[in-house]
Structure 1
Amino acid sequence: MVSNASAAAQAAQVRGSPAMRRAIPYLLSLPALLATAGVLVPFLTAVWYSLQSYNLAFPQGRAFIWFENYLTLFASADFWHTVAVTLTYTVSTVGLELLLGLAVALLLQRRTLVNDVMSVLLVLPLMVAPAIASLMWKLMTNANFGILNYLLTFVGVQDFPWATSPATAMFTVVLVDVWVFTPFFSILLLAGLRGLPKEPFEAAALDGVPASFVFFRVTLPMLMPYIMTAVLFRMFDSIQQFDIPYAMTQGGPGDALMVFQVRAYLEAFTYTSLGRSAAILMVLWAITYFLSQVMIKHWLRLRERMSGA
């Protein structure tokens, strides 16, 4: 008992020493410093590689070439095709998921037993990894034994090409992405809808205001911070999507689904050009940073307007 008391007193004395008090802020910031290093080291390494002619097949030819990789990218039609495909994929998936997620959230807004059960079931697609979901859909859209083509025969559609044709490949991967990530919008917007104050809606009901007017003039403006948050997070993820396009078609057929991440992956591991791959990823980072700054500025302006109101 005496030894325990003396040990506790000694520990308290150490904690109360000036040196320990000065060291505590640094010790508390150590996890943040480690996380920052974990982000900056790979980022700066990618920047360094993007300024070099670095091919894994010919490591002896590695040389510092400054911005030549970027100039080669910007002069390439394939690069601008990748930009167009990535932005098309991002706008299509985020836009459709927002509309469908908002519709589902409105349907489940009222607290009933059925709606609560459906709200829980909404999480199921989010529990499936995008790559696994892509393989599931790849089997379902198979031309020989896929169940979706069999179901389409009942409405007169024969041998729909799905991801095997450049004309329908984008539609197919957008469909898979919407199936996986629409619940993210639904859950977030449902939480926002159920958290809105009831007084404006009760006053509108007493005054006999049309439902469409209430939705566009009351519900949507009050829900906009939740919408902006969901769009921001999904935009970050969608513009950097790799799992679904690669698992479905490896960027094909041809280059129909050659998004940034797939092209960077192929440049690094198929063509062994780490320099060009890193340059592609740096351009992707710049686009993501620019779009995020625009979205965050709109979100902050919206928050100021809401708080002022």
Structure 2
Amino acid sequence: MTGHVGDNNALGDHAESSSVRLLGPAEIRDLAGLLNIVPTKKLGQNFVIDPNTVRRIVRVAGVQPGETVVEVGPGLGSLTLGLLEAGADVVAVEIDGRLAAQLPETAHLLAPDARLTVIHADALRVTELPDSPARLVANLPYNVSVPVLLHFMEHFPTLRAGVVMVQAEVGYRLAAGPGSKVYGAPSVKAEWYGTWRTSGQVSRQIFWPVPNVDSVLVGFDRREVALGTEEERLATFALVDAGFQQRRKMLRQSLQPVLGDTVAATAIIAAAGVDPQTRSEQLTVHDFLTIARVFTGVGIPRSELP
């Protein structure tokens, strides 16, 4: 939904007609009080209260004037206003009804000429968005950050790049390579869609309430050519899930839930040119894809992988 609503007691004194104003600690708390909102861990609500951090995120994300950006979990609008300030057309997906209803009002007062669409929905259930967003920029709720990222990468192929703020542990895992101690299923699944990198730490003190964990910015760029078909993606992800559920076991054992008994698993893995005695933490997404292709009967040689 979109909306422009009249004056608001919490923000009326801060409104300007000529430029975008970002939210500071006082405005954030005023808005929360107006809406009778107490941030909850269940929804992963930690609101950004520092305009400098907002502008940093927008800068790192490379947001361009006129491009459509999707934001997940806009909350009270701190980052939303930063994106609008940069000239982006923003599509914001918010699960909390009170926050979704307030955001257009906040934007109307502090960014009166901005283009904002607010969708009141669970981000994990959204499969259609207006205007084919090209970039994802968000302070993702900690408790669903990886599922939301993978969901949006799967369902919105127009997303070419983006930056998200996530719990540090999650961010390092997303950007990890094979052999790293934090390399896991999210690392491989993220690599299916593109390249990922950490883009700096974020202080706990820029949030209200202050979280108990550190945060990092993670940037991504989508592959120009998809690694495989949807059938191959599903088969690859099934192997990844099986492999990392028993990550300390050799592949010929850990992949049995998908490939069959030890004999069958060993033969399929070997046919893919992968050592059946290695472990999942040593494999790239290409390795998993090759095994998936042998398993599904495609059998494309590794030399022909994209």
TM range (shorter): under 0.3
Question: How does the TM-score come out when normalised to structure 2?
Answer: 0.21
Higher helix share goes to which structure?
1
Greater Cα radius of gyration, structure 1 or 2 = 1
Which structure has more relative contact order (CA 8 Å, sep 6+)? It is 1
Question: How does the TM-score come out when normalised to structure 1?
Answer: 0.21
